[in-house]
Amino acid sequence: MQEQAQVQANMVNGVDVDKLFGTIDAVKAAPVVATFRFRANNKWLGGGHNRTTITNFYGTQQEHERKEPFTLDADEPPVLLGEDNGPNPVEYALTALAACVTTSIVYHAAARGVTIHAMESRLEGDIDLQGFLGLRDDVPRGYKQIRMFVKIDADAPPEKLAEIVKLGPTYSPVFDTFTRPVPVSVELDR
């Protein structure tokens, strides 16, 4: 993942595959390079409105800081007692999943030399708010089920396309975070 002078980058799907394989070799030589810590800060703005700021993360044994922080507002729509100042939290969850499965397909296809020309997807997730409202403990608070449908145009015969799409759920960190029980602690910061 070091910067390196290159006469000509070997790009597949907009991914520099020489750098990708360089990264893989670096991780194989020193697995600690692959240890990342991502971070977010949130500030409540009133009602269902709050703002997350993303600035820095740790990885490849060093801190990385963006020039400008990314700012993401969340709110609820009026029917959920908010003012629609941004997508709501469970819509952000779908966004994370869509982005992650897409990028996982693109990177892993690039590593296999498969060129993708275009990709789009649509997602839907079902929630029964009886869970959030605390009316029924046998109803999950979160998504009961999520479905993602991927349209892909790639240099591959039609019967291979489902295999390429499958790279997403196979390697995506967010897909894994949703489908596996992840330990999450929430504590008072005194």
100 contributes a contact to a second copy by CB under 8 A: yes
Query: Judged by CB under 8 A, which of 10, 30, 70, 155 binds a second copy?
Result: 70
Question: 76: helix, coil or strand?
Answer: coil
Minimal distance in Å, beta carbon 10 to a second copy? 12
Mark 151-190 with x for binding to a second copy (rule: CB under 8 A) and - for no binding: xx--------xx--xx-xx-xxxxxxxxxxxxxxxxxxx-
Structure tokens at 127: 């929630």
Minimal distance in Å, beta carbon 170 to a second copy? 8
132 contributes a contact to a second copy by CB under 8 A: yes
The amino acid at residue 64 is H
**Residue in 2, 58, 6, 9 with CA at minimum distance from that of residue 25:** 2
Angle at 114 between CA 93 and CA 102, to 5 degrees: 5
Number of residues that bind a second copy (CB under 8 A): 123
What is the Cα–Cα distance from 83 to 125, expressed in whole angstroms? 22
64 contributes a contact to a second copy by CB under 8 A: yes
Structure tokens at 88: 């709501």
Q: Assess contact for 76 and 92: CB atoms under 8 A.
A: no
Considering only residues 71 through 90, tell me which ones interact with a second copy, judged by CB under 8 A: 72, 74, 76-77, 79-81, 84, 86-90
Query: Judged by CB under 8 A, which of 4, 5, 43, 115 binds a second copy?
Result: 43
CA 186 to chain centre: 21
Minimal distance in Å, beta carbon 7 to a second copy? 18
109 contributes a contact to a second copy by CB under 8 A: no
**Residue 159 CB neighbour total at 10 angstroms:** 7
114 contributes a contact to a second copy by CB under 8 A: no
Query: Judged by CB under 8 A, which of 29, 96, 156, 157 binds a second copy?
Result: 96
Query: Judged by CB under 8 A, which of 10, 113, 115, 135 binds a second copy?
Result: 135
What is the Cα–Cα distance from 178 to 100, expressed in whole angstroms? 12
What is the Cα–Cα distance from 4 to 34, expressed in whole angstroms? 19
Query: Judged by CB under 8 A, which of 30, 46, 113, 115 binds a second copy?
Result: 46
Minimal distance in Å, beta carbon 6 to a second copy? 13
